[in-house]
Homo-oligomer: A and B are copies of this chain.
Amino acid sequence: MRTIRTGILGLLLGLVPLASAQELTSPDGNLQLHFGLDNGVPTYRLDYKGKGVIAASRLGLEMEEASLTDGFTQTDVQNISFDETWSPVWGEYSRIRNHYNEMAVTLEQKENHNRTVLLRFRLFNDGLGFRYELPEQKTMNYLTVKDECTEFNLTGNHKTFCIPGDYDTNEFAYTTAPMSEIREGMEKNLRKKGYESRTTSFSVQTPLMMKTADGLYINIHEAALVDYSAMLLNVDDKAFRLSAHLTPDKLGKKGYLQLPRHTPWRTVIVSDDARDILASQLILNLNEPCRFEDTSWIKPQKFVGVWWNMFTGAGNTWAYSDYYKAKPGVTDYTKLTPNGRHAANTAHVKEYIDFAAENGIDAVLVEGWNEGWEDWASYRKDCQFLFTKPYPDFDVKELHRYAAAKGVRIMMHHETSANAADYERQMDEAFQYMVDNGYNSVKTGYVEYVIPRSEYHSSQWMNNHYIHVVKRAADYKIMVDSHEAVRPTGLCRTYPNWLAQESARGGEFESMGGTTPTT
């Protein structure tokens, strides 16, 4: 594809919206992106088969130290085509085609220290990805994110499948309604949750699924969420305008950056066939290739779990005793009176191992095996769980021997109570303990409020934490299934030991009022 260069001429002509627009077309020609400067404000538009998907929408970043939203001149544009096929370590497809046309536009604030922002657009047959890149430059080094001004102006009152914006959880029932009516529906669904949403504006989570009146399916999300806070979407349900709402930390800061840096990809998947949205590999394609040389130890697995009994009202508990003031590292658990309802006991787990062996199931997850469950929701403690201390009735060595003899793995459970700080403190010991006892996979959990107390589940520090866990686990050849972590953005391509992210409202809610399917 030829390289187009525009300069000051484009700016002089650019006084009406997108008058200086450049166009980018998907490889199959169905999607068309228009980019231009509207009085110095970066603006884009997306069409699919001639129909509007995203109407003219502004782009920009607001930093505490610099407003990167307007006053721009375009100084360069580079276009390339890219086509490769790669093999994921696991997944629905053995080969994935990564095929896109790219346009990288360099913008400069000539009257403001020549501050430079690069906008990189990738147009696939199934959608658009774009991100902001902040190259190394003389007049900026550190930035604190105040706001991301990315907008997604919709073309009508689309049918919307959504959950309420929240910095800590995605475990809501879905609302399906025209956008003008989702507010009421989401408020009803909010009440089904144990605690309040923390956003003060009217917002929804991504991935956000929509259907237009003329049969287009549109999905807005993000890819490769690394060292940045997760994006929610503010909703203007009268103008049908969505805009980026970044998760702050509890000091109100939305991100801490050092240049050179880039944001995650903002993604818009589009089709007139709903099935294409699910089949899309766009999110994976926008992530970096696998970082590990040896991936022979990574294998998806089926597992059953000592878990459901604790939800059903059958009376089983994660906790070994009813002494709710127990403190891991302080209390001598061997001296507690067992409550007689502790499910993760050696004999019972053996029954699960037998069942797994008889039914070709790879592994048995055991929740409630370790010290701390008497008092897990303990935001006011420095340590809620010990990850190397089994309860007195859970014989790790014997269970490992028994499971190994039957060709079954036991899956580790690390419930952190969202005390990520303490989990990092214990992590090396915890993973070494797993290796020493024959575990090769862990389900992590992040229930309740986060420690460090400055953080939400979806804020930048926590997003870095989840990646740290996965990388450190890989050092021990351990696979990870994260529960209640931030929503997935395709990082399992880069770190394929991140086998699963249980970030949505899962089966456990069937024991808590259930979830009504929507259409």
Contacts and interface: CB of A to CB of B under 8 A. Distances in A.
A378 B142 CA distance: 8
Nearest to A427: B425
Interface string A214-253: 0000000000000100000000000000000000011101
Interface in A171-190: none
Interface stretch (A93-101, A254-262, A310-318): A254-262
Contact of A380 (B144, B381, B382, B427): B144
Contact of A453 (B249, B258, B427, B468): B249
A454 interface: yes
A98 B431 CA distance: 44
Given A421-B421, A421-B424, A380 B256 contact: yes
A44 B404 CA distance: 66
Bin chain A's interface residue count. 35 or more
A257 B380 contact: yes
A170 to B, nearest CB: 24
Copies of this protein in the assembly total 2
A77 B249 CA distance: 47
Contacts of A253: 453
A380 B375 CA distance: 34
A325 interface: yes
A141 interface: yes
A379 B256 contact: yes
B461 A382 contact: yes
23 contacts: A249-B453, A250-B454, A251-B453, A258-B325, A258-B327, A258-B375, A258-B380, A258-B381, A382-B461, A421-B421, A421-B424, A421-B452, A421-B461, A424-B424, A424-B425, A425-B427, A425-B468, A428-B428, A451-B461, A452-B452, A452-B453, A452-B454, A454-B455
Given A251-B453, A424-B425, 6 more contacts: A249-B453, A258-B378, A382-B464, A421-B452, A425-B468, A428-B428
